[in-house]
Amino acid sequence: MRLRILPITLICLFSWAAAYGQCDGKPPKTEEYSKQALQKTTYLSSYIQIICDNKSTIIKASNAVDLACKLFLDEDRIVQVSSSNNKAVREYKVRHYFEHLKLLGYTKVEIVWVEVGYVSQLRKGVDGNFYGVITIKQKFTGYKDDLPAYQDITEKHIEVVLKQVEVAQAGNSLRCWDVLLGDINVEETWQN
């Protein structure tokens, strides 16, 4: 019994540390926030794959929508989308964007970040949060009946926000920095 408790405790500890990073009151260094932001974008792509997979149950897809929304500063954040077939950029609030994904009609999707570049240092906002921008190239493949039906590569700018949050640990309240996603803007989309 004791051997089972230790791995679960370690997993919880590592998950907590990964989610909140520094708890010493100082904002994380660029490398640390970049690593946390990249981890959040990885979670985001995993949730999108669940949302778009027609084998996902309604409950599983709805849970993925809720979890994906929690990656963002709030649900008023904007996600821009485009297509190589139509250069018009459309904007959706976060939850509406995820609900829209369910309607795309793909049997599954794959999202791969093919290039990740950090284009800005953190800047402190008037609200006390720190802001930065990550530029990524996203390779999107939508499948129908296990065959690629649509592919593109889109360069996106993802705003990342470092915000202090209260975390309870062993009866104590700690102020830790959490990385949240802000607006996601399309820079350019082209055929893969």
Domain ranges of the chain: 28-191
pTM of the model: 0.81
Pick the CATH number of 28-191 from 1.20.5, 3.40.50, 1.10.1060, 3.10.450: 3.10.450
**Of 41-50, 92-101, 119-128, 142-151, which range is least confident?**
119-128
Give me the pLDDT at residue 118, please: 66
Orientation of helix 58-70 relative to helix 94-102, angle to 10°:
150
Residue of higher predicted confidence among 160 and 87: 160
pLDDT at residue number 21: 56
Give the model's pLDDT for residue 80.
95
Residue 22 is predicted with a pLDDT of: 59
The predicted model gives 170-192 an average pLDDT of: 88
Q: What is the pLDDT of residues 96-145, one digit of tens each?
A: 999 998 888 888 888 888 877 765 778 899 999 999 898 889 999 999 98
185 against 172, higher pLDDT? 185
Decide if pLDDT at 153 tops 50.
yes
CA–CA separation, 46 and 76 (whole Å): 21
Classify strands 172-191 and 147-169 as parallel, antiparallel or unpaired.
antiparallel
Residue 96, CA distances (Å) to 30, 69, 107, 141 in order: 31, 10, 20, 21
Tell me which of 14 and 50 has the higher pLDDT.
Answer: 50
Confidence at 24, pLDDT banded by 50, 70, 90? low
* Confidence category of residue 172, pLDDT binned at 50, 70, 90: confident
Task: Report pLDDT for 168.
Answer: 80
